Amino acid sequence: MSLFDKFQPMIDMRAELAEIGVMPFGPVTEKLFSATEGIVNGKHVILAGTNNYLGLTFNPDCISAAQQAVAEQGTGTTGSRMANGTFSDHLLLEQELADFFGVNHAIVFSTGYAATMGMSATLAGPGDVILLDADSHASIYDGVMLSGAEVIRFRHNDPADLDKRLRRLGERAKEALVIVEGIYSMGGDQSPLAEIAAVKRKYGCYLMVDEAHSLGMIGENGRGVAESEGVEADVDFIIGTFSKSLGAIGGYCVSNHPELEAIRFTVRSYIFTASSSPAVIASSRAALRIIKQQPELRTRLWDNANQLYDGLKALGLKVGPQASPVVAVTIEDRAQAISWWTQLFDLGVYVNLVVPPASPSVHSLLRCSVSAAYSSEQVEKIISAFTTLVNTTPVNNAG
């Protein structure tokens, strides 16, 4: 058996797509005109799949902060946080994140993946139990597999199933770690966090929430679903990323547990990787200030999200159970999903094509992520492109 045999399904898929001239995975962005439009694979498109929720990648304050940091501190740290890679701005961002979330401790990681995977791999270990939502992000799954803990999946967004599985653990339940997301990245559905927090209180376990797709978007201050549901005091650890609403790259974990300061020196994805560049830290700090000072961005984001969700739902498309900045259309027929992705692209709209095993089910998704930077006319153009597809080729959700 060849070392490469396990890659044959992907080799076959790439060959199949190349034969019909489709390149849905890793499209090349050649030029950006703004946070919402650019040249992708040679075509001028609306960027409807970038996770640029607040449109801050072109914000003048963020750009200016990054430019000044490069001029004063150089292009990179060339070292890990444990060695020479802790600059004063890393510490300032950690303090500002802690202040933003109203907690005492924060860790900044080089990527969101490193934060989520690292904390999932480190908090629990051999002899411990982790319970995670079945639709959790790949970074969470990767982390818990590295942890050595016993891993139990519970049904997606099902507090009753979580309760049942914790009950079966008996005395072990009080030391278990539960991991959920605020808004799920593929379907855009929101966690029933108030109910999950109630289960957590019942058994006395620990709760970690990934707010990657809800930071800056929900809650009175933009802190995420835990804030909007009024259960921040029940959440032991909040993790997230800078690569969505903050328009940069990086990750974080915040907590009121003083042990977090010791935990940081045991997280391998923190210890053994270079720290974030000065420009990234500076632009992230500027973006965090904007989230605090400009709540109107959240209002615009949700106006656009509701417009797109309502428009696609009115077409009879299978979207998520509630409006969200992530609006995903489920198409059971993979060939049609690929065809529709291509046609949308030809109509000037770039969305994400998600096929199994990347999708959370056996079906494919055409995933849109909404931005506060969209005009109402741009949202209408996205809806119009889907309308054209529906009118020419009705969706096949029987295959």
Catalytic residues: 185, 213, 244
Angle at 250 between CA 247 and CA 251, to 5 degrees: 110
Encoded amino acid at 133, one letter: D
By C-alpha distance, which of 276, 190, 263, 264 is closest to 229?
190
**Rounded Cα gap, residues 9 and 353, in angstroms:** 18
**Rounded Cα gap, residues 74 and 52, in angstroms:** 26
Cβ–Cβ < 8 Å for 55, 35: yes
80: which DSSP letter? B
**Rounded Cα gap, residues 17 and 296, in angstroms:** 42
What residues contact 335, with CB distance under 8 A and at least 6 apart? Answer: none
Burial class (CB in 10 A: 0-12, 13-18, 19+), 294: middle
By C-alpha distance, which of 101, 112, 106, 74 is closest to 90?
106
Beta pairing class for 206-210 and 326-331? unpaired
Cβ–Cβ < 8 Å for 112, 242: yes
